[in-house]
Chains A and B, each alone.
Chain A
Amino acid sequence: MSKKHEVPEVDIVIDEEAGVIREVKPEKTRSKKGHERRVNTSIYVILILMSIIWLAPFFFLVFQSFRSYATESGGMVDYLLPKQWSLDNYKWLLESQESNFLRWYGNTLIIAIFSAAIQTIMVLSVSYALSRLRFRGRKLIMNVVLVLGMFPGFLTMITLYFLLKQLGLTQTGAIPGLILIYVASSGMGYYISKGFFDTIPKSLDESARIDGATRFQVFKKIIMPLAKPIVIYTILMAFMAPWGDYVFASYVAFGSEPNYNVAVGLYRWVNVADYQGYFTRFCAGGVLVAVPITALFLALQKYYVEGVTGGAVKG
């Protein structure tokens, strides 16, 4: 709001029935402003309380990650701040011979990069085709995808495992195997970017077509440059997903520890009884995973918001 045109907000009231502009009594304005201030104060209180609730677990996690497993206690404790701050957990994760953490981290990074790249191509192809091109079977494809989407994801886990195994992509081959699985059916997640393509005016394509451009050229030269937000959104989502996948990653890689992803590796430290005193190392590992992902996410937040709002509105 620019200062120049600022009009006192509620000082006047247009009374349509009477056809006159009435001035509101000054006392009322003041009380209203007081009311406004009270409302804002309570909103601030609520927001501050919420921020505490939202951030507390992450701060706790960070605190615990600085409690040394070697000199204090690596397990769970009933106090928050470490008695002595130390980097032992991080050192162990990054330097110890016993730790596979860097390996897992690298695995996950590879999976994330490849699946982000290929998945983006798949999703964009499908959504562009379904949004801009008209061909026989288009409706059928959309309906089939809708129906397939209603089956729960883990139903087919055992089948996928054995399909991958036939290709030699389980256990030691788990990393390419996981990429394949993440990517293969990713075209089904076309909704959001199709919704985006739908909003680009069709006249753009048509005028280019009249100028003699092929559909591929239209896709490459006209649509893609406009689709930057949705491309970034798709890449972001595809890149983030593998970091949190425990269920399928553990199913495909079982037994072969060097081929775990971070989620599988770290999850075991909390939930498998063989790992006594690994809790603080889990926390440190969690921090190391969360920090870059969070930073990336916050940096690209804008595109994420565009994606989810677009998706929500388009359905």
Chain B
Amino acid sequence: MKKLFSLMLACIMLLSLCSFAMADGYSGELKIWVAEAVVDFTQQQVEAFKALHPEYADMTVVIQPVGEGDAATNMITDVEAGADLFAFAQDQLSRLVAAGAVEEVEPSNAEVVKAENDPGSVGAVMMGDTMYAYPMTSDNGYFLYYDKSVVTDPSTLEQILADCEAAGKSFYMEINSGWYQTAFFFGAGCELTFDSNDEGQLIGMNASYASEEGVKALKAMIDLHKSPAFVNGSSISNATNIGAIVDGTWDATAAKEVFGDNYATAKLPTVAGFQMGGFGGFKMLGVKPQTDDDKLAACDALAAYLTSEEVQLARYNAVGWGPSNLNAQKNEAVQADEALSALAEQLAFCAPQGQYPNDYWSLATALGDDVIGGKLDDADDAALLEVLKGFEATCEGYLSK
């Protein structure tokens, strides 16, 4: 029975391969948006793809540097002028789906994606039961970069701040970002997730910010802001006087440059007795809805290729982006990477990032700005609880009716 089944499976695979090979190919133009750092890399990979698939050899591929932040906004503004394949960070997915600016993943590719990538990244590309993008990296998380000569013990935030203050250095963390902020709230044990349906709408919310834990987290943020060493920020080359910074793998090269021999990484510290948590996020590759079947097939094939095990590994080797592919993650070099292992250590305390309404990010910035602006400096627990209640209520207002 088992044999028969595997035979059938092999047949089906062969058939699908045949149909793949028999596809008409595509020789028009195809536009890709990726971050500046990987333009050259993507160019090489596209050449490799063409060599592998002769039916696409005549295809003209244009690669433009459009950052992961801008891509979604541009796609939504004018989907026609947008790229056929575009890389974006996962917080943009619900927007893109709601605006109809991203195509569902081809069903057979979706099966492959599910089988080969880590569960968090698979969850991140799903809206309801539909898969809308190809996971590309699994490194969109943050951890601590620090200067060994300044920070003596990176395990508690209190100690890091004391060391920075003593050395006259700064501790950077972007606490007015909805992304970094969860390090406090999730770490203290709060929850904030949204349920989505297939149309890209968010229909339910599970939140426990307005709780004792939430107050604890908010107080930790306020204490952090009160330290003279604290600076709000997460961009390493814009930081002028770093003792330590909470940042992601994409800044690893810059961090090595800035810290030199004193470069060190660690998971996030504990604060007020709890381990800081946060989001484990992902970068993904989306395909634009197409009016031409051949072009769509080309997009599907190229997207699948650019997010495959080999290319993810190659991307790691070229620019250091951590793969979401399970096999690639097992690679020795990836395992040995200092920044990635700090990230992996931190991800153990993180929740995989799901779907959030676009307005959540500006609301979180508002909360962070209130903390940084000193508005909550003198608030007591009850007042903080009120603030968080308001926060939750506003979040709930973002749900689709």
Chain A interface (Cβ within 8 Å of chain B)?
Answer: 73-78, 158, 161-162, 165, 170-171, 251, 254-257, 268, 272-279
Told that A254-B70, A255-B31 touch, could you supply 11 new A-B pairs with CB distance under 8 A? A75-B240, A75-B254, A75-B258, A170-B81, A256-B64, A273-B250, A274-B35, A274-B36, A274-B65, A275-B36, A276-B237
Distance from A47 Cβ to chain B, minimum over Cβ atoms (Å): 32
Chain A residues positioned under 8 Å from B253 (CB to CB): 276
Chain B residues positioned under 8 Å from A77 (CB to CB): 240
Q: Once bound together, how far apart are the Cα atoms of A276 and B80, in whole Å?
A: 30
Q: For the complex, count residues of B whose C-beta is within 8 A of A.
A: 32
Q: Is B238 an interface residue (CB 8 A)?
A: yes
Distance from B42 Cβ to chain A, minimum over Cβ atoms (Å): 14
Q: Is B239 an interface residue (CB 8 A)?
A: yes
Q: Once bound together, how far apart are the Cα atoms of A77 and B36, in whole Å?
A: 23
The answer to whether A273 touches B235, judged by C-beta atoms less than 8 angstroms apart, is yes
The answer to whether A255 touches B67, judged by C-beta atoms less than 8 angstroms apart, is no
The answer to whether A75 touches B236, judged by C-beta atoms less than 8 angstroms apart, is yes
Known: A75-B236, A78-B241, A255-B83. A273 touches B254 (CB 8 A): no
The answer to whether B37 touches A274, judged by C-beta atoms less than 8 angstroms apart, is yes
Q: Once bound together, how far apart are the Cα atoms of A168 and B342, in whole Å?
A: 49
Q: Is B331 an interface residue (CB 8 A)?
A: no
The answer to whether A276 touches B254, judged by C-beta atoms less than 8 angstroms apart, is yes
Distance from B319 Cβ to chain A, minimum over Cβ atoms (Å): 11
Interface string of B73-88 (1 = CB under 8 A from A): 0100110111100000
Q: Once bound together, how far apart are the Cα atoms of A162 and B240, in whole Å?
A: 42
Q: Considering only CB atoms, which chain B residue lies closest to A256 in the complex? A: B64
Q: Is B257 an interface residue (CB 8 A)?
A: yes
Interface string of B256-271 (1 = CB under 8 A from A): 0110000000000000
Chain B residues positioned under 8 Å from A76 (CB to CB): 237-240
Distance from A274 Cβ to chain B, minimum over Cβ atoms (Å): 4
> When A and B form their complex, which 6 residue pairs have the shortest distance between CB atoms, in order from nearest?
A75-B237, A78-B240, A276-B237, A277-B237, A274-B67, A276-B254
Distance from A161 Cβ to chain B, minimum over Cβ atoms (Å): 7
Q: Is B33 an interface residue (CB 8 A)?
A: yes
Q: Considering only CB atoms, which chain B residue lies closest to A100 in the complex? A: B65
Q: Contacting A279 at CB < 8 Å: which of B37, B70, B237?
A: B237
Known: A74-B237, A76-B237. A277 touches B254 (CB 8 A): yes
Chain A residues positioned under 8 Å from B33 (CB to CB): 255
Chain B residues positioned under 8 Å from A272 (CB to CB): 67, 69-70
Chain B residues positioned under 8 Å from A274 (CB to CB): 35-37, 65, 67-68
Known: A73-B258, A275-B36, A276-B251. A255 touches B235 (CB 8 A): no
Chain A residues positioned under 8 Å from B81 (CB to CB): 165, 170-171, 254-255
Chain B residues positioned under 8 Å from A277 (CB to CB): 237, 254, 257
Q: Is B66 an interface residue (CB 8 A)?
A: yes
The answer to whether B235 touches A276, judged by C-beta atoms less than 8 angstroms apart, is yes
Q: Considering only CB atoms, which chain A residue lies closest to B83 in the complex? A: A255
Q: Once bound together, how far apart are the Cα atoms of A165 and B79, in whole Å?
A: 12
- 15 A-B pairs within 8 Å (CB atoms) are namely A75-B237, A76-B239, A77-B240, A254-B66, A254-B70, A254-B81, A255-B31, A255-B64, A257-B65, A272-B70, A273-B67, A274-B67, A275-B36, A277-B254, A278-B237
